[in-house]
């Protein structure tokens, strides 16, 4: 066993996005691809010598093979220790927690989040820093720059390490500790939430269905919900991680989690339903006969977080990504705490959390979390909902209606146009950007444009600026349109159109969101010409 140096040359396109580097699995499987990116990452952070890293992934295809490469490279680059989830498995929030509790220098998380898995689907690697959160733009930019000049990488040539049993190993002078992927995370959840109250809730006959979508959260949900909280066996479905997520799309929304939705809208629906995604950082919440939008979920959690022991002292502030509805802002105003609006990407919450300015954070894309880790956390959101349900003794529908009666309802929907021609989509956004100054005062049906801009964010902690983060168009009647191109896919471009309108009349709280937003949808088409630019008569996905 010895460390060797291999000559290489730069590989194009290794630019990490908001959640690391994502490509098709077969791209990662090409010669030197993983090695180049990992060496560039080590070089960009000042080397791996003497450092400790947490390593794990969501179990998708190529997860185990890539982890073996990373371990051998860490050893060759002088790392002191690597902490790895048994079987190479760690949910993204569990990895964040492990980085923090073990005082690691950083972590490498292998996932493409909610994207499909398999040899013909998607794979990803991202670097998280010592605070447990995704690398900031300064680090991802340094990684990308290094990929463009890399000429060699270092690796130990040896057989694969046994990751199937808990314990300590040695690899080329580096310590490798294989840990149970759930234990530390479950301990943190038991500290934040009133497990006794939730146990009593299940003991009372409360029923639940949790769809793990054949993804990483399955083992966590089996252990916490069923083994520790007493939910009946069978509460967790699709709970065994699969390299291709059972051939499905592990994105917890009404389209891809349709089996859960059908059950929750049926006559014999459980009291509560939830789902999580590929790497365990997203969530979907459903009550009997009612779907909770991620934006509403964030607002309800913010209004009720004090009912859980971990948040009994109240919140320092609430932060949301710019496209997320402004429902949480209304809660923050009543609570007398700050509300922050950040660009899309969980890394933008990191400074606010580290500086104690925010406690809860959320994104419209089904991501919610708090200062307990530095990632969004799907199962955490489910447990907080359970804690609230246990204390309040109401149904999900009753809690939602009480919330809207207090704060009003922010009707909200996201329209995704997937895999569209990138050039045409970018041209549409560029054209719209050039017309923003002329939009205020113009009318589209019953709605009038109040203001329009291209969102730019100045971090209140370090002063860094993130420009061109999406088009915002604010209209009358509490309406808003946001448009941005997403960086989470691997083919073409995805145009996301976010639509919002405030309703204050309680007699109109139960409308279909698409109907309630029809004026806003028409205005978005009239303003941007979406059909012409995308070649689509309708969005591919509505959530």
Residue 48 CB-density burial (10 A; 0-12 exposed, 13-18 middle, 19+ buried) = buried
SS (H, E, C) 301-369: HHHHHHHCHHHCCCCCCEEEECCCCCHHHHHHHHHCCCEEEECCCHHHHHHHHHCCCCCEEEECCCEEE
Answer yes or no: are the C-beta atoms of 288 and 302 closer than 8 Å: no
Please indicate whether residue 321 is annotated as part of the active site: no
Phi, psi of 265 (to 5 degrees): -95, 0
Q: How far is CA 457 from CA 80, 129, 460, 468, in A?
A: 38, 22, 9, 9
CA atoms within 13 A on the CB side of 395: 14
Answer yes or no: are the C-beta atoms of 77 and 108 closer than 8 Å: no
What distance in Å separates the CA atoms of residue 470 and residue 477, rounded to the nearest whole number?
21
Phi, psi of 400 (to 5 degrees): -65, -45
Answer yes or no: are the C-beta atoms of 43 and 138 closer than 8 Å: no
Query: What residues form DSSP beta bridges with 170?
Result: 175
- Residue by residue, DSSP assigns 217-270 as HHHHHIIIIIIIT-PPTTSEES-S--TTGGGS----STTTTHHHHHHHTSTT--
The 10 Å Cβ neighbour count of residue 170 is: 11
> Is the CA virtual torsion 307, 310, 315, 320 positive or negative?
negative
- Residue by residue, DSSP assigns 11-22 as -TT---BTTBEE
Q: How far is CA 299 from CA 131, 205, 403, in A?
A: 26, 27, 9
Angle (CA) 501-293-247 rounded to 5° is: 135
Torsion, Cα 504 509 515 517, to 10 degrees, reads 40
* Catalytic-role residue among 113, 276, 295, 297: 113
Torsion, Cα 253 268 392 239, to 10 degrees, reads -50
CA atoms within 13 A on the CB side of 534: 24
Query: What residues form DSSP beta bridges with 110?
Result: 57, 125
**Hey, what are 158's tokens?**
């040896």
What distance in Å separates the CA atoms of residue 74 and residue 107, rounded to the nearest whole number?
11
Catalytic residue set: 113
């Amino acid at each position: 066993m010895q460390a060797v140096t291999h000559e290489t040359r730069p590989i194009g396109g290794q630019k990490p996005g908001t959640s690391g580097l994502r490509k098709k699995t077969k791209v990662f499987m090409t010669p030197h691809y993983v090695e180049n990116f990992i060496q560039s990452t080590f070089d960009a952070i000042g080397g791996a010598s003497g450092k400790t890293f947490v390593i794990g992934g969501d179990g998708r295809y190529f997860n185990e093979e890539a982890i073996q490469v990373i371990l051998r490279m860490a050893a060759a680059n002088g790392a002191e220790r690597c902490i790895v989830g048994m079987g190479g498995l760690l949910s993204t929030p569990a990895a964040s927690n492990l980085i923090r509790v073990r005082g690691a220098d950083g972590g490498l998380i292998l996932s493409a989040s909610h994207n499909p898995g398999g040899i013909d689907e998607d794979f990803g690697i991202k670097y998280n820093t010592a605070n447990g959160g995704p690398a900031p733009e300064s680090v991802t930019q340094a990684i990308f720059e290094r990929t463009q000049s890399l000429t060699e990488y270092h690796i130990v040539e040896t057989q694969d390490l046994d990751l199937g049993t808990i314990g300590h190993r040695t690899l080329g002078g580096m310590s490798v500790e294989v840990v149970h992927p759930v234990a530390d995370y479950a301990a943190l959840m038991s500290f934040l939430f009133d497990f006794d109250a939730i146990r009593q809730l299940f003991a009372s006959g409360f029923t639940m269905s949790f769809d793990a979508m054949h993804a990483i959260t399955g083992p966590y949900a089996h252990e916490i919900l069923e083994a520790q909280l007493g939910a009946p066996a069978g509460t967790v479905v699709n709970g065994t991680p699969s390299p291709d997520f059972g051939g499905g799309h592990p994105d917890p929304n009404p389209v891809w989690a349709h089996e859960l939705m059908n059950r929750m809208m049926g006559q014999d629906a459980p009291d509560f339903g939830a789902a999580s995604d590929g790497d365990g950082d997203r969530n979907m919440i459903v009550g009997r006969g009612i779907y909770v939008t991620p934006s509403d979920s964030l607002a309800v959690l913010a209004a009720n977080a004090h009912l859980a022991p971990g948040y009994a002292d109240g919140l320092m502030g609430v932060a949301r990504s710019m496209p997320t509805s402004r429902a949480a802002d209304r809660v923050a105003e009543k609570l007398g705490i700050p509300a922050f609006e950040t660009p899309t990407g969980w890394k933008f919450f990191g400074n606010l959390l580290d500086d104690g300015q925010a406690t809860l954070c959320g994104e419209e894309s089904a991501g919610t979390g708090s200062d307990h880790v530095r990632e969004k956390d799907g199962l955490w959101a489910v447990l907080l909902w359970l804690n609230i349900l246990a204390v309040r003794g109401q149904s999900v529908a009753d809690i939602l209606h009480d919330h809207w009666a207090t704060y009003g309802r922010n009707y909200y929907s996201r329209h995704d146009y997937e895999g569209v021609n990138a050039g045409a989509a970018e041209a549409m956004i560029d054209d719209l950007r050039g017309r923003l100054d002329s939009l205020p005062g113009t009318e589209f049906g019953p709605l009038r444009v109040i203001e329009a801009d291209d969102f730019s964010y100045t971090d209140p902690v370090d002063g860094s600026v993130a420009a061109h983060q999406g088009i915002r168009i604010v209209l009358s009647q509490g309406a808003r349109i946001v448009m941005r191109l997403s960086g989470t896919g691997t083919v073409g471009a995805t145009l996301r159109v976010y639509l919002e309108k405030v309703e204050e009349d309680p007699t109109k709280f139960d409308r279909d969101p698409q109907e309630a937003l029809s004026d806003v949808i028409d205005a978005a088409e009239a303003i941007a010409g979406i059909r012409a630019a995308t070649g689509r008569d309708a969005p591919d996905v509505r959530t």
